[in-house]
Amino acid sequence: MFLHLPVAIVAIHLAVAPGIPSRIVREARQEAARVLASAHIQIVWVDAPGLQMEITGNELHGVARDAVGLAALSQQGSRATISWPEVRRAAAETDTDPEVVLAAAMAHEIGHLLFGPAHRPTGIMSRHFGRKEMLLAMRGELLF
C-alpha cells in the first residue's frame, strides 16, 4: 500500500480582526488546508509563532486594485495579510461566497510564504482570480 504523506508540515499563526464571521474563517481555513494538501503540504493552525497570517478589517494600500492579500517575505519573518473588505468586494464581483474567496486568498498567500513571490499562469498561484478561478474554487478544483 502506498501512502500519500505530506512533504512538509507548516505551522501558521492566524490573527483575525474583530467582526469577521468565525464561521467564514473556519470554513476558509479548512478549504485553504485542503488546497495546500494538493501540493503535499499539511497546514497546522497554531496559537504560537509560526508563519504569520492576518485577516485585517482594513483595505490594502500599495497593491494592485484587484488584490485581496499580500505577502511580505524577509529574513526577519514572513507575513501574509488578507483584507476582509477586499475579500467581500471580490466575492460580490465574482458572485462567489466570501469563504471561497477567503480560502483561495489564504492558500495563495501561504503559497507565497512558502515558495516566494512568483505567480503561475493558472491555478491557486495565478496572479488574478476572476470568475473562472472562483468557479474552479467553488468546485474544489483551484489547486497548485
DSSP for 50-65, please give it. Answer: SEEEEEESSPP-SS-T
Instruction: Look at residue 64 in the predicted model and tell me its pLDDT.
Output: 85
- Reading the block at residue 92, the C-alpha cell is 460580490
Task: Please give the pLDDT value at position 32.
Answer: 94
CB contact at 8 A, 94 and 65? no
pLDDT score at 144 = 85
**What is the set of domains in the chain, with CATH numbers?**
8-60+67-138 (3.40.390.10)
Note the pLDDT of residue 110. Answer: 93
Residue pLDDT, tens place only, 31-56: 999 999 988 999 988 887 778 999 99
Q: What is the pLDDT of residues 6-35, one digit of tens each?
A: 578 888 999 999 999 999 999 999 999 999
Give 60's DSSP letter: P
Q: Using N-to-C axis directions, what is the helix angle for 84-94 and 98-115, rounded to 10°? A: 120
State the sign of the Cα–Cα–Cα–Cα dihedral 106, 28, 33, 75: positive
pTM, whole model, 2 decimals?
A: 0.84
pLDDT digits (tens, 9 = 90+) for 81-138: 999 999 999 999 999 999 999 999 999 999 999 899 999 999 999 998 999 999 999 9
